[in-house]
């Protein structure tokens, strides 16, 4: 059974940094497409960043490009962690952040993702 568990959210002031983690377990193979999404109150869920094939390919939304970095550690027995390092945070980055997994690249459409974590809240104050 595939499980995704996020952690690392919190409250910071504008200009601060946070690192989100998504612990991935239960896959029988590695090399999936993993994405971070976020959803602010009253807004649709949007993709923030994606990583594929152990980091060979990455993608970022324009709104976070140059500020956020997606990465993953080396898998051990198909258990690994995907990170979202967020720098120069802005109040508009405030949202619930979710990690999600799919088999293939690209993995930007929330309707196509196979597995989701429970989410972690990020709040940025001005």
Q: Are 121 and 12 in contact (CB under 8 A)?
A: no
Tens of pLDDT, residues 23-38? 999 887 767 899 999 9
pLDDT band at 77 (very low <50, low <70, confident <90, very high): low
In the block, residue with structure tokens 């001005």? 126
Please give the average per-residue pLDDT across 100-114, as a whole number: 93
Token code pair at residue 66 = 């140059």
DSSP H or E segment with residue 86: strand 80-86
Q: How far apart (Å, rounded) are the C-alpha atoms in residues 9 and 121?
A: 5
């Amino acid at each position: 059974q595939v499980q995704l568990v996020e952690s690392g959210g919190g409250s910071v002031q504008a200009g601060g940094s946070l690192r989100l983690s998504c612990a991935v377990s239960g896959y029988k193979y590695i090399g999936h497409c993993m994405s971070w999404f976020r959803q602010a109150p009253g807004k649709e869920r949007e993709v923030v960043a994606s990583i594929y094939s152990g980091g060979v390919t990455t993608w970022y939304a324009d709104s976070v490009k140059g500020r956020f970095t997606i990465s993953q550690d080396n898998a051990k027995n198909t258990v690994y962690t995907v990170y979202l390092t967020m720098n120069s945070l802005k109040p508009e980055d405030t949202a619930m952040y979710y990690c999600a997994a799919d088999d293939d690249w690209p993995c930007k459409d929330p309707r196509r993702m196979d597995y989701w974590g429970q989410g972690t809240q990020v709040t940025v104050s001005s």
